[in-house]
Amino acid sequence: MTHLRLNLAASAVLCVLCLANFPSFSGALVQSPSAQTAPDNSAQNKDQGLTADNQADAKGDRLTTANIRKAIVADKDLSTYAHNVKIITVNGAVTLKGPVTSQEEKEKVATDAASVVSADKITNHLTVKQ
């Protein structure tokens, strides 16, 4: 009888130790739902300026964005980063955002965009990737 109790106690300890090694189980046992907080990046994202969501739905703005994208992608000297920059056109004003590999590439992307719209309508927020 003592042997049976000892086996039962050892099995219970083993089960608890095994469950402690699984984060999904141990986290559910340790943390209460009220202790978990939802991620909130609103303070960091507050002053981000224009995003792709700000892209106007006006036909002229969409055509401008498409033509700039074609000019950038046609430039085979540019990196994949440069080919994937964000182009946001609102009321004819163009904003370029995203990483590029060098200062020369940043200038080349702006030049490609300037081949579609005048340079004074371009805001260059491209960053050189370190």
- How confident is the model over 25-38, as pLDDT tens digits? 545 555 555 556 76
Q: How far from 66 is each of 25, 49, 116, CA to CA, in Å?
A: 50, 21, 10
Helices (H), the chain: 2-20, 23-30, 42-45, 59-74, 80-83, 103-114
Euclidean distance between CA atoms 94 and 62, whole angstroms: 11
Mean of per-residue pLDDT scores for the chain: 81
- Note whether residue 44 is domain-resident: no
The reply to whether 27 and 55 lie within a common domain is no
- Note whether residue 63 is domain-resident: yes
Residue 117, classed as helix, strand or coil, is: coil
Would you call 87 exposed, middle or buried from its count of C-beta atoms within 10 A (0-12, 13-18, 19+)? buried
pLDDT of residue 48: 62
- Note whether residue 42 is domain-resident: no
- Note whether residue 54 is domain-resident: yes
Check pLDDT > 80 for residue 14: no
pLDDT of residue 75: 95
- Note whether residue 45 is domain-resident: no
Q: Tell if the pTM clears 0.85, that is, is over it.
A: no
The total number of residues written for the chain in this structure: 130
- pLDDT confidence bin for 57, thresholds 50/70/90: confident
- Note whether residue 7 is domain-resident: yes
Euclidean distance between CA atoms 74 and 8, whole angstroms: 72
Check pLDDT > 60 for residue 127: yes
Selection from 127, 130, 74 nearest residue 105 by Cα:
127
How many distinct structural domains can be found in the chain? 2
- pLDDT confidence bin for 116, thresholds 50/70/90: very high
Selection from 69, 77, 86, 79 nearest residue 101 by Cα:
79
pLDDT of residue 26: 47
